[in-house]
A and B are shown apart, each in its own frame.
Chain A
Amino acid sequence: MTSKKADTVARAATPMPNSSKKAIPAIVILAIITLVGIGAWVYQLANGLAVTGMNNGTSWGLYITCFMFFVGLSAGGLIVASSAAVFGVRQYKQVAKPAVLLSTVCIIAAAAFVLIDLGGVQRVFNLILHPNLTSPLMWDVLVIAIYLIINIVYLVLMGRRSNVASDRALAITSRLALPVAILVHSVTAWIFGLQIAKVGWHSAILAPLFVTSALDSGLALLLIVLVVLNATKLFATSKKLLSSLAGLLAVCIAVDAFMVGCEILTMAYPSAPEEAAVLTLLFTGSSAPLFWGEIVLGLAVPFLLLVFSRLRESVGVIVVASALVVVGVFLKRAWLLLTSFVTFNVAGAPGVAYGRSGLDGTDIWSLIGTYAPTWVEVTVTLGVIALAALIYVLLAPRLFAGEDGHLELASAGAPAFATPLEPALPSADASTAAALGTAAKTT
């Protein structure tokens, strides 16, 4: 075990570990997409937000959808890792490194989306010079900054050689991380949930709903990442742990569905006109593809796939279900944001002025809020996602090259959590990874 650990450390220290050579094509592709995205962002900076589909009726769009989405995605990792530490769930502790790295890159992406969405990003320092503490957006800026710092500290501490002092620091960090992770998603929800102007947002359930969506989408993304890390032999996770996490995911999906159900029923029951208008848009109107997409693809199907422990043993099923959950939560963010912009509280012709010159006569008006993302928004968004993935791919080999969570745990002096993962396999991590990689491919 000790020699194993030394080997791991040595490999982590090599600038370009063996396993990451294979990542070069991925790195190149991600770098290209990132650069194209930056190009589109520069184009947006030069021409203003007029190059987006946003307008005075629907004043937030894809960027803010992605902001909510990525804040949520970053939850899974940190909540799983830190609750493992706080509540002593040893088996989940093994995946702490890949999980916290995932959480870090996702929160960086989320912060990037807010900055990209600003009309006056050159005046962003006013957030420090003139903070208004009654603004939920200000709360979010603060709590995201704290969250990012905690993530980075967590990563650094986990990278240290284990001793009494660093274990203690890690224990403290994980205890801080859990409440902050829950807070960061609640505060993001409050940006919307506290707005009495929009009946579709103004709800006390929004914060718990965001935390649950964050848990299921974040956990789903973590599962996908763990399978990819297995397949690329960067980090081995036992099949048993994967299906245990997948079981947890099924629970989160159920809670998520419950909360959506509570919210919809509460809105629908009084049949009040404003709520009814929002629900009509959701059930049969322009938001229906997003709404039903989430209910069917994001909740029903993955729940049915994961609820049976037999199905959950297949890595393929886990990946498909997780991908559906991630897509489903994205759709949910989109309907949640956009539906409330459609109907104006004070409705009537001519409506709201769109906000662009060069439109003729009555074309400047719209009676309802409309929105479709432009190529600029889509390109910038893909760029940010590629950047996040790029950071992950570059840092992963340095943080946990070829590690096996199971072995590492044992070498850190903690009692080994489980009997050998699969009796047929020898306990060497590389072969476990190889076997799991094959399993991932064949299922």
Chain B
Amino acid sequence: MTRLAIVINQDRCIGCQTCANACKMENNVPMGMLWNRVITVGSDVIDGAVGTYPNLTREYLPMACQHCDNPACQAVCPVGATYTDEAGRVLINYDICIGCRICMAACPYNARVFNWEEPVRDPDFNYGHKDVPVRPRGVTEKCTLCKERTDEDREPMCVTCCPTKARSFGDLDNPSSAVSALIREKSAYQLLPERGTSPKTRYFK
């Protein structure tokens, strides 16, 4: 079995949002939404600090679909449009999705975005990987772990573009992969473990 995953070093993340933009460009994500965003934890403003001066902290948390081992979104999809593929990626079949959005309600991470309108792109043509399916209006979409790239044995675009190398990518089922080593050595944690979704994405500081 293969379980592809991203492991993120939050100490390295400088909140530059490069991964968010790389993802948007690579995956032809329409205007008004993103698959990947970098959250400044607990702050109302991007890059804000938390606490009282001079005792301040700042923490960045890159957020996209966590590719859960027990995906809440998949269980509730009435038509099985959301599925886990053989590489452990949680994916959406856009031809089947009926746009009921129960998956958006079920995902604890607000990872999913919906095509409320006819997708608008700026510039007004499709960009990114040529094989990425163009999503119609009325379907849900989210991070695919750059399926088209990872199928070619390349890393997801966010991993490639991160200027501080905060992101690692690999197979959790292969004990000698870089991600497995990080999880072992750095005790990389899962987000919201109490929700029982058991994300493949891990974080460490």
Q: Do A355 and B81 touch across chains, with their CB atoms under 8 A apart?
A: no
Question: In angstroms, how far is the closest chain A Cβ from the Cβ of B42?
Answer: 5
Q: Which residue of the partner chain, among B80, B108, B136, contacts A130 with CB atoms under 8 Å?
A: B80
- A244 close to B (CB within 8 Å): no
Q: Do B107 and A197 touch across chains, with their CB atoms under 8 A apart?
A: yes
Which A residues lie at the B interface, using CB under 8 A? 47-50, 52, 54-57, 59-60, 114, 117-121, 123-124, 126-127, 129-132, 134-138, 141, 191-192, 194-198, 341, 344-359, 364, 367
The chain B residue sitting closest to A198, CB to CB, is B105
> Which of the segments B2-10, B162-170, B172-180, B188-196 contacts the partner chain?
B188-196
Residue numbers in A under 8 Å from B108 (CB-CB) = 196-197, 345
Q: Do B78 and A127 touch across chains, with their CB atoms under 8 A apart?
A: yes
**Given A197-B108, A345-B110, A347-B42: A355 and B97 interface contact (C-beta under 8 Å):** no
A348 to B38 CA separation, bound complex (whole angstroms): 9
Q: Do B98 and A126 touch across chains, with their CB atoms under 8 A apart?
A: yes
Q: Which secondary structure dominates where chain B touches chain A?
A: loop
A97 to B118 CA separation, bound complex (whole angstroms): 46
Q: Do A357 and B32 touch across chains, with their CB atoms under 8 A apart?
A: yes
The chain A residue sitting closest to B107, CB to CB, is A197
Question: In angstroms, how far is the closest chain A Cβ from the Cβ of B78?
Answer: 4
The chain A residue sitting closest to B121, CB to CB, is A357
Q: Which residue of the partner chain, among A52, A119, A341, A345, contacts B115 with CB atoms under 8 Å?
A: A119
Q: Do A49 and B138 touch across chains, with their CB atoms under 8 A apart?
A: yes
> Which of the segments B43-51, B125-133, B151-159 contacts the partner chain?
B43-51
A120 to B138 CA separation, bound complex (whole angstroms): 5
Q: Do B114 and A59 touch across chains, with their CB atoms under 8 A apart?
A: yes
Most A CB contacts (10 A, CB to CB) among B44, B98, B115, B192 go to B98
Q: Do A357 and B31 touch across chains, with their CB atoms under 8 A apart?
A: yes
**Given A136-B76, A197-B195: A357 and B30 interface contact (C-beta under 8 Å):** yes
A179 to B161 CA separation, bound complex (whole angstroms): 57
Q: Do B76 and A137 touch across chains, with their CB atoms under 8 A apart?
A: yes
Can you offer 21 A-B residue contacts whose CB atoms are under 8 A? Answer: A49-B99, A117-B101, A119-B115, A120-B99, A123-B99, A132-B80, A135-B75, A136-B102, A195-B72, A197-B108, A345-B110, A345-B195, A348-B39, A350-B46, A351-B39, A353-B32, A353-B113, A355-B116, A357-B30, A357-B32, A359-B32
The chain B residue sitting closest to A341, CB to CB, is B105
Q: Which residue of the partner chain, among B33, B72, B192, contacts A355 with CB atoms under 8 Å?
A: B33
- B40 close to A (CB within 8 Å): yes
Shortest 8 CB-CB distances between A and B: which pairs? A119-B99, A119-B138, A50-B117, A357-B31, A357-B120, A197-B108, A132-B80, A120-B99
Residue numbers in B under 8 Å from A359 (CB-CB) = 32
Residue numbers in A under 8 Å from B79 (CB-CB) = 126-127, 129-132, 138
Q: Do B98 and A132 touch across chains, with their CB atoms under 8 A apart?
A: no
Q: Which residue of the partner chain, among A50, A123, A124, A350, contacts B116 with CB atoms under 8 Å?
A: A50
Q: Do B116 and A356 touch across chains, with their CB atoms under 8 A apart?
A: yes
A276 to B147 CA separation, bound complex (whole angstroms): 40
Q: Do B116 and A135 touch across chains, with their CB atoms under 8 A apart?
A: no
Total CB contacts across the A-B interface at under 8 A = 185
A50 to B118 CA separation, bound complex (whole angstroms): 9
A97 to B95 CA separation, bound complex (whole angstroms): 43
Q: Do B48 and A349 touch across chains, with their CB atoms under 8 A apart?
A: yes
A344 to B191 CA separation, bound complex (whole angstroms): 13
Residue numbers in B under 8 Å from A350 (CB-CB) = 37, 39-40, 46
Most B CB contacts (10 A, CB to CB) among A123, A341, A359 go to A123
**Given A48-B118, A349-B43, A353-B32: A119 and B77 interface contact (C-beta under 8 Å):** no
Assuming A138-B78, A138-B79, what are 6 further A-B pairs, CB within 8 angstroms?
A: A48-B115, A59-B114, A121-B99, A137-B76, A346-B192, A350-B40
- B16 close to A (CB within 8 Å): no
Most B CB contacts (10 A, CB to CB) among A54, A135, A348, A354 go to A348
Most A CB contacts (10 A, CB to CB) among B41, B99, B191 go to B99
Q: Which residue of the partner chain, among B80, B81, B116, B192, contacts A49 with CB atoms under 8 Å?
A: B116
Question: In angstroms, how far is the closest chain B Cβ from the Cβ of A95?
Answer: 35
Most B CB contacts (10 A, CB to CB) among A49, A56, A138 go to A56
Residue numbers in B under 8 Å from A192 (CB-CB) = 105
A48 to B195 CA separation, bound complex (whole angstroms): 32
A52 to B116 CA separation, bound complex (whole angstroms): 9
A191 to B192 CA separation, bound complex (whole angstroms): 21
Question: In angstroms, how far is the closest chain A Cβ from the Cβ of B92?
Answer: 12
Question: In angstroms, how far is the closest chain A Cβ from the Cβ of B102?
Answer: 5
Q: Do A132 and B33 touch across chains, with their CB atoms under 8 A apart?
A: no
Q: Do B39 and A346 touch across chains, with their CB atoms under 8 A apart?
A: yes
**Given A135-B77, A135-B78, A137-B76: A348 and B40 interface contact (C-beta under 8 Å):** yes
Please, what's the 1-or-0 string for B71-87, where 1 marks a CB less than 8 Å from any CB in chain A? 01001111111000000
Residue numbers in A under 8 Å from B78 (CB-CB) = 127, 131-132, 135, 137-138, 141
A367 to B100 CA separation, bound complex (whole angstroms): 24
Question: In angstroms, how far is the closest chain B Cβ from the Cβ of A221?
Answer: 27
- B22 close to A (CB within 8 Å): no
Residue numbers in B under 8 Å from A126 (CB-CB) = 79, 81, 96, 98
A119 to B92 CA separation, bound complex (whole angstroms): 15
**Given A127-B78, A197-B195: A119 and B43 interface contact (C-beta under 8 Å):** no
Residue numbers in A under 8 Å from B136 (CB-CB) = 120
A377 to B79 CA separation, bound complex (whole angstroms): 25
Q: Do A349 and B109 touch across chains, with their CB atoms under 8 A apart?
A: no
Residue numbers in A under 8 Å from B106 (CB-CB) = 195, 197
Residue numbers in B under 8 Å from A194 (CB-CB) = 76
- B61 close to A (CB within 8 Å): yes
Most A CB contacts (10 A, CB to CB) among B63, B72, B117 go to B117
Q: Do A123 and B75 touch across chains, with their CB atoms under 8 A apart?
A: no
